[in-house]
Each structure stands twice: as C-alpha cells, then as structure tokens.
Amino acid sequence: MSAALFQLNTEHSPKKRWWTNQELAEFYRVSDIMAQAGLEVDSESGLSDEGDPWFVYVRSDTGDVIAHFAIIDGTFIAVSAVTQDLYRGKDIRSLIDQLVERHPMMMPSGSNGKVVLHPSILLTAFVAAAFVAASEEVQANTIEEVLEVALAINNGEKNTSTKTGSNTADPSQSTEVADEETGKEINAETAPAFNDLDAGKTFGSSFSLLGAIILALEISSRETALANTQQSSNSLNMQALTDLYSSEYLPVPSLVSASNPFSITDFNQDDVSNLGDSTQFHEPIPNSQLTTKKNAATLTTDLDSSYLGMQDAKMIASDSLINSPNTQNNSNEDFSSYSHLGDGGFSQATTSDSNLFYSSDTEQTSKTVRNDISEQKLSVAAIDIVSLVSGTVNNTSQKEDNLNHYSLDNSLITSFSSGPVDFDMQIASVKEVQENSTSEENSTKGEVLIPSLNIKGHLLSAEGPETLTLSNEVDILLYEGGNVSVSNFELGKDRVWFFLSEGKNLYESYKITESNDLVLEFETGDTLTLLGVLDTESSSLVL
C-alpha cells in the first residue's frame, strides 16, 4: 500500500500570461535602437515549465545573454545577466522607476524628480549598459558603474580626468562611435569599471562601447519624440503633438545642460547620421525649455499609455520658464486656445478638447487644405518670434496683458511638417457659442474677455496671391511657400503655421525693415513678409 502526499497550494496563483504585443514591441524597439548604435543584439523569448514568460537579449557576436526579462508569478523582473543586478516590480514601468532610483545620475539635474523619463530610454539604457558590462574589456561589477562612466563621460565631468584621444580598436564598433568619444574625458574616480584597464586598444575599445551606449540612448530619445509626433500625422491629432511639447522627453538626461543651449528647431531622424560628431548632436529639446506659461497653469498630461505597463503616469511641466532666445514656446496653448475660442469662454487650458479646433460643429464656412508631404520625417518646430524680435518691441508688457485676455501665449509662429502621410486639414471657422456676451462697450478692462472672434485659415503658396490682408478675426496662415506679403497680422492673435519640405529650415534668415515689417527669408528664396507686424501702435489698438 502506498500513499501519495499532495501539497495543497492555497496561495493565490497569479494568472500566467505571455508578453503582450506592446511589451514585445517595446523589447524589439530596444533591439532596433541598439542596432542603430552599433550594438548588435539578438533576442529570444520562451516560457518556463510553469508558463512564465521570459525574454532575453543576446550579444550577436558572442551569444552571451546580456539582459533577462521575465514575469514570474506576476512580478516583472529585469536582470543584467552579467552583473546580476536584479530589479523587481509590478510592471516594467516600476522596474524603470527602480532603475532611476538606483541610478540617480540618469535623472537630469535640477529636475526635482518631476521629470518622467520615457520608458524606452531607460529600457535601452539598461540593456545597453548590460551590453557594455558584458564586454570583456569593461571590468564593471555593476550596471551602475557602467552608467556612471557613460554619463560622466557624456557630462564631460572634470575631476581627476584622463584625456583620451584613442580611437577604436574594435572592428565591430563603428569608427563614428569612437570618433564621437575622441577628446572626451573620463572621470577616473567615478569610473571604477575602467580603473584597471590598460591603455591603448582596450581603452579605445571600451570608449567605443561607451560611445555606443550613449548613442543608443540618444537614438532612443530621438525615436521617442518621433514616435509620438508620428501619431499626430495620421489624423493630425493635436493631442499627440501637444503631448510632445508638454512632456519631458529627454535625451540622455544628463546630456541636458543649461550651459549648452539647444540650437535645434526640429527633430529629424536624418540627424542620426551626424551622430559621429558630438558637436552636431541635435538633441530633442527638453520640453520644459519649450514651454512658456504666463498663466502659470500647471499642466498635467497623460503620457502615452501605450507604453509598457505605464499607467497613471503623469508629468508636470515646469512653469518657471523664460523667454530666452533659445527658448521655444510650446504650441500647447495654441491648440487649446483655439478650442476655447469656440467655447465662448476661457477656462484653464487643457489639451483634451483640442479637437474642437477641428470640430465640424460650425456654422461658418470651412476651408479644407490638402497637404501632401512626402518622404519626410515628422519634424516639429516652434519659434517664439516675440522673443526673436524682443529687442524691437517696445510695448511688450501691454501686449502680454492683452495676450492673457485671449488666453494666448506669446508664441507667434508654430511650424510643423508632417511625415509621409496625406492628410486633410480642416480649418473651421468656429462660431462663437455665446454671441450675446461680448461687445466692446460691455467689456471692462481687467476682465477676462470672452472672445468673439472667428478663426480663418489662409493657405499661402507659390500659386496663390502675393498679398493678403488679414481680418480682425483670428487668422491662421498656412504657409507652404511663395513670396507673400501679409498685412494686418496681429501679434499674439494671429498665427503662422509652416508646412515645409524635409530638409528645409524654418527660415534662412529674417530681417526687420524700417517700416516694422518682418521679412522671413527661406532657403528657396521665398519670403514671407508680415507688413507692419512690429508696429506696436497698430498691434495695441487691435488688441
């Protein structure tokens, strides 16, 4: 006679599941990003005998596993296969939070913990760091060592630094990567992974690897921006665009330096080709630097919930930003303010109802603009022209007051060009809902005006008229090209949107004439002239 003893497991058994498509997509995206940076990794996934999924990254050249992800009993784990650094969390987002907690250097300085880093960036950082840690040349004990070294190099920290001019000796690494590292400095105190390295070949190779990790992060951040803006290209979804501006999609966080102001005006994937020269990095602008909010509205925006396990992620945009020449206004309020014009009242600006701008619920005529832009990566640009010409505007404070009445920020020109997507954009003249509420006589100074203005769209192209006189409504100029002179353009109320081809700068140069005309000159030789736009008297009168 025999007896079998069965152990009754009374504990709740988490439901086993395979990776979601989103999770897999994110994993593969990391692979792609790393491949672009010259870090070739394979990946493989499988199920345990209990049905728990795992996913690993494997170095293509050696076959060694560098990072292991799994969901064990409902808990996400991430492990650096070499250093065995292990992270646990309820989802990948929480893993990433742990990564940030353990590696505070990854956070941008001065962020006060308010910045939400994009999951892809940190996921890539983790895998890329694991890749570097798995290199024989890099005698790192922990992921943190690798990250510290990489980020210290990237920050150009100068303590007991050792100058290196060595090029890569590793044929598997691109020379661009090595060149990018040439001349950079490494902080020996914060670089224990490199303390024991011999000079020469190994050193150069290590630097090329570190260059690769930086590249991976850079590409990750760039693609993050693109991925989000491309969402908007499908349906001209303003939410995505405003999310881009209002969120903190940072490049390698510590790359952000106040002493290194950005000169970029757009996000261009082609820029990746320039990554070999660190001086040509066109870093995505931390959007906190893009934002000017005179109304001091604290913006809380849901980040893309499609990212792995990313729930209830919020970011708070900084409201303490300034109008510096290198500061771009965001277009967030542009979109929201339009929508509120149609509401017949002004409330706290949000982006959730920005689609009102394109609402078909209008009584006025609408104008459909067909815009076919091909072979372009989405790029986004915003120019604060008030800042641009601030030296010539004498009555700024008065303008700003008026701008506040209209809930408009002082960004004048917003530009974006779209990806290879054909889209119809409907510029609707939004009829005011509460028509009886506004008259000039009833409006008292200091009171929030209820805008009674319609929105009118004007397509400006080489085939169109060369002159245009704007109305006293909110005029939106959609500039495709051509030599056009526009009169009655009112600062703070009217807008210009540029639709430019790939590779074109927003404008080549600008000049201000004696008659207070603002002339924007483009590479094509076309000019857009805003006649008398800087005539403060007329602007003030209008406003």
Residues that bind other proteins (CB under 8 A): 44, 46-50, 52-54, 56, 58, 63-65, 68, 70, 72, 77, 79, 81, 86
Cβ 72 to other proteins shortest distance, Å: 6
What's the CA gap between 10 and 407, in Å, rounded?
A: 60
Cβ 55 to other proteins shortest distance, Å: 9
Judged on CB neighbours under 10 Å (0-12, 13-18, 19+), 312 is exposed
What's the CA gap between 285 and 321, in Å, rounded?
A: 13
Cβ-based nearer residue to other proteins, 66 or 506: 66
Within 13 Å, how many C-alpha atoms sit on residue 414's CB side? Answer: 22
Cβ-based nearer residue to other proteins, 59 or 495: 59
Cβ-based nearer residue to other proteins, 50 or 312: 50
Return the residue matching tokens 């339009």: 338
Cβ 173 to other proteins shortest distance, Å: 16
End-to-end, the C-alpha distance of the chain in Å comes to 99
Cβ 40 to other proteins shortest distance, Å: 11
Cβ-based nearer residue to other proteins, 70 or 122: 70
Alpha helices of 391-535 — where are they, by DSSP H? 396-405
| Displacement of CA 197 from its chain's centroid (Å) | 37
Which residues make beta-bridge pairs with 469?
487
Cβ 49 to other proteins shortest distance, Å: 5
Contact present, 318 and 300 (Cβ < 8 Å)? no
Cβ 88 to other proteins shortest distance, Å: 9
Cβ-based nearer residue to other proteins, 66 or 153: 66
| DSSP state at residue 307 | S
Cβ-based nearer residue to other proteins, 12 or 158: 12
In the chain, the amino acid numbered 38 is G
Longest dimension (CA), the chain: 109
Cβ 36 to other proteins shortest distance, Å: 21
What's the CA gap between 321 and 293, in Å, rounded?
A: 7
Cβ 42 to other proteins shortest distance, Å: 9
In the chain, the amino acid numbered 503 is G
Cβ-based nearer residue to other proteins, 75 or 364: 75
Dihedral pair phi/psi, residue 96, rounded to 5°: -65, -40
Cβ-based nearer residue to other proteins, 87 or 335: 87
Closest by CA position to 460, among listed 437, 433, 491, 494 = 494
Cβ neighbours, 10 Å, residue 260 = 11
What's the CA gap between 364 and 349, in Å, rounded?
A: 24
